[in-house]
Chains A and B, each alone.
Chain A
Amino acid sequence: MFYIFCPYCDERREEEEFHPSGQAHLVRPTDPESVSDEAWGDYLFFRDNPRGIHHEMWVHRLGCRKFFNITRDTTTYEILETYPMGEQPTITAETARVRREQGVQTADGGWQTVGAQPENSTLNEETSS
């Protein structure tokens, strides 16, 4: 159970009051008519699935009913920060404190990552038993 800080209500509330709304900081192409199908498809359908730091949108649906952003570690479920819409995260995957092998690739369209590499490649290798 999360205990989430709502930046608008300015206090912590039970997770029951919130609902997750997917990846944050998606930018709609300003001129959808002129973007390639691939870039449009990336924007519309493909989302990051990182191992580690993830920025996601949540809505305080039973409280102030506002959307805001959460930086969360997908491996530990730890919520590192919450911040209002329109602001940028202070903690990212590039932040020195959390910098390590994220195992994340970025697709050609530049929007999303298409897969996660294991932190340790030997995990995927078959062992002779």
Chain B
Amino acid sequence: MSEAHFEANGGNVAVFDTHPSEVIAAESPLHWSRERGLVDDVAGHDGDVKVVERPFLGHLILRGGAITLDEAVRAELGISLPGKPLGLNVDADGSRSVQWLSPDEWLVIVPGGEEFELENRLREHLGDAHFAIVNVSGGQTLVELSGDKARELLMKSVTYDVHSHGLPVGKAVGTVFAKTSVVLRRPNETGFELVIRRSFADYCVRWLLDAGREYGLRVESPSSR
């Protein structure tokens, strides 16, 4: 783990790079499930639903005023904050996104390794503004659902209306999944994304496997960065 840096942002906030300088083995939230044989490094997907974890991404929670944050995120990330509640803005190649979580809270997801640099740039840009940035990369993970039966699978799992009129592309909602909570996102036409908590990851995987058994579902999770 790198040393804490106090010199940026006026010395009142300790920030540190959660990526260690030397390479060590990393365990995604689905590691527990992997040890129990529920998750494959590379799953052969011959079923109607494909579930792939995108581990080790950079997740940042931004809190503060919409106008100041929008300006900073637009300048440093090139994506504007969603203008409306439940909005999800994704960049051109789909690897970076900004999502509305609540009236003063947004979730930024960027490729793993970019989040520390982005956090520092945002802090510098925001200066003395009233805001908070928290790196939550270790606490949650992103799971992609795609395939013909992905919607049917979700219909069995969430209370939310997952039809295209209820959850169009560019919308993301926090809702009930099985008996826990997830963030359900619709970044593109081809599929859905779930942001699940680390402590509930195994439960969610087991639920998905059970609900997707009739569709031949396998869960894939790359074991390294």
Contact = CB atoms under 8 A, between A and B. Distances in A.
B159 A16 contact: yes
A30 B159 CA distance: 42
The B interface is mostly helix, strand or loop, or mixed, namely strand
A10 to B, nearest CB: 5
Nearest to A17: B176
Contact of B103 (A8, A14, A62): A8
Interface in B154-174: 159-160, 173-174
A10 B86 contact: yes
How large, as a class, is the contact surface on chain A?
10 to 19
B190 interface: no
B176 A65 contact: no
Interface string A9-52: 11101101100000000000000000000000000000000000
B62 to A, nearest CB: 15
Contacts of B86: 9-11
Contacts of A14: 159-160, 176
A98 interface: no
B85 A62 contact: no
B181 interface: yes
A65 B102 contact: yes
Contacts of A66: 102-103
Contacts of B84: 10
A17 B159 contact: yes
A63 B159 contact: no
A93 to B, nearest CB: 30
A116 interface: no
A62 B102 contact: no
Interface string A63-86: 111100000000000000000000
Contacts of A16: 159, 176
B175 interface: yes
Contacts of B174: 17, 62-65
A64 B103 contact: yes
Nearest to A15: B159
A11 B84 CA distance: 12
A33 to B, nearest CB: 31
B101 interface: yes
Nearest to A10: B85
Contacts of B175: 13, 17, 62-63
A9 B85 contact: yes
Interface of A: 8-11, 13-14, 16-17, 62-66
23 contacts: A8-B85, A8-B102, A8-B103, A9-B85, A9-B173, A10-B84, A10-B86, A11-B86, A13-B159, A13-B175, A14-B159, A14-B160, A16-B159, A16-B176, A17-B174, A62-B174, A62-B175, A62-B181, A64-B102, A64-B103, A64-B105, A65-B174, A66-B103
Interface of B: 84-86, 101-103, 105, 159-160, 173-176, 181
Give 6 nearest A-B pairs by CB, closest first: A64-B102, A62-B181, A14-B159, A63-B174, A10-B85, A16-B176
